[in-house]
Chains A and B, each alone.
Chain A
Amino acid sequence: MDNIEWKCNKCDKPLKPRSTVFEYMGRSFSHEVLVCPGCGKVFIPQSLAEGRMAEVEEALEDK
């Protein structure tokens, strides 16, 4: 999945890295992820969801 060059189906544009605001447990922070430059559709790869993202989720739940 990480090696696939994803593009937005609606805008037909390749994704570009962009700083995106994430929210969880009443806290928010920015992280750079691949996003459609046209409509802003975000791509979260499985490795990120089950890796770093899960760690941050756990840390925020514990606060």
Chain B
Amino acid sequence: MREIRLIEDGSNDAFWNMALDEALMELTPTSTLRLYSWKPPAISIGYFQSLHDEVDLERCRSLGIDVIRRITGGGAVFHDKEVTYSFIMMDYPQDVLESYKLICGAILEGLKTFGIEGEFAPLNDLVLNGKKFSGNAQTRKMGRLLQHGTILLDVDVETMFSILNVPDEKMRDKMISDVKERVTGLDLTSDEVRQALKNGFSEVFDADLVESEVKNDERLLAEEKAKRYASRDWIDRI
């Protein structure tokens, strides 16, 4: 049976969270699943997004919300009441859609063990009764794939929209009510979602999960990277 390295992480700030995902992508010797959350809450934007178009920085500062740019694609995400995972693979489908299907399939399989029958909504979302509860994003570098994503436990749409810039202020109320209609948190505890993810990855990849600490070289690289993630040069890149 194959092995997947499992890192059961706790709550960290945004800079450490994204830095450790990237450091693991570069250094981990095997497929690796990391489970974590965010403290303080954070808003992350995709690699190619414009910070000032997307985020009200003043408002984030006053609410104590971290702001970070990811190395992965996709849009802005408000990280608060959720379980976040990252998964690093060495041997993966080159087809982007197929790889999302495979990894998101593991999440869905795991949630079934808690009675939740979600569905994959291409390209990169998971839905329950038509409402999104998980968004996912990827990057591929030097023959390795990193996918990270969120499993929502609850959604504070008002706070989310108070820190996101919207193209037209008149649309803000409408957008809030739309998101309330289209997004949902799962009725599970954080521990249950973590267990579901472990069940699903183990089953779909036919692998034993082997719990592991972050190694010293990975920690040192993450510390370096965390400085870059916190720098204006990186966050304000676009």
A binds B: no
* Residues of B bordering A, CB below 8 Å: none
